[in-house]
Homo-oligomer: A and B are copies of this chain.
């Protein structure tokens, strides 16, 4: 529809509800209440409920991409440091402040085909960033195995943290990133 800061803020609020309840269980009335308006007014900002989901997922993936690129810029240029930076950035966009990245991963199937088509490029860009870093780790002999499988196993391990990680618990997202990298790089001594 448009790209106003107002819409950005509404999208952010929608993301929170989608994370808590899931897309299907979130009603437009709940969304409107969270936004401080009535349900009818919501359709002035978004064509329909689907469009809200698409906006949230676009925001979530874009954000993950930006954060990952920044993390790679800032870290050492060793394969291990870069692997760790990616994992850390991924977990931060996933687990911090109930983020839109979670929606992008867990509600992807709920997108209608048109939106899925449009957003798949963004998702692919993020995933190929991962594959690039995995490639470097393979070339450096840091890890071994099939590039396709390794990257999907790693992303799976990270994405699943949403189901069990407790931000109030003893472990930081950095702890998790460190342990994951250690697990795949120092298996047998």
Residues on A lying within 8 angstroms of B by beta carbon are 22, 24-25, 109, 141-146, 149-150, 152-161, 163-164, 171, 176, 179-180, 182-189
Interface of A is mostly: helix
Question: Could you tell me if A182 and B109 are in contact, using CB atoms closer than 8 angstroms?
Answer: no
9 A/B residue pairs, CB under 8 Å, sorted by A: A142-B187, A145-B179, A150-B183, A152-B157, A152-B161, A153-B179, A155-B160, A183-B187, A185-B188
Residues of chain B within 8 A of A149, CB atoms compared = 171, 176, 179-180, 183
Query: What's the Cα separation between A153 and B179 when bound, in Å?
Result: 10
Query: What's the Cα separation between A25 and B142 when bound, in Å?
Result: 44
Residues of chain B within 8 A of A187, CB atoms compared = 142-144, 183-188
Residues of chain B within 8 A of A157, CB atoms compared = 152-154, 156-157, 160
Q: Which residue of B lies closest to A144 (CB)?
A: B186
Question: Could you tell me if B156 and A160 are in contact, using CB atoms closer than 8 angstroms?
Answer: yes
Residues of chain B within 8 A of A141, CB atoms compared = 188-189
Residues of chain B within 8 A of A160, CB atoms compared = 152-153, 155-157, 159-160
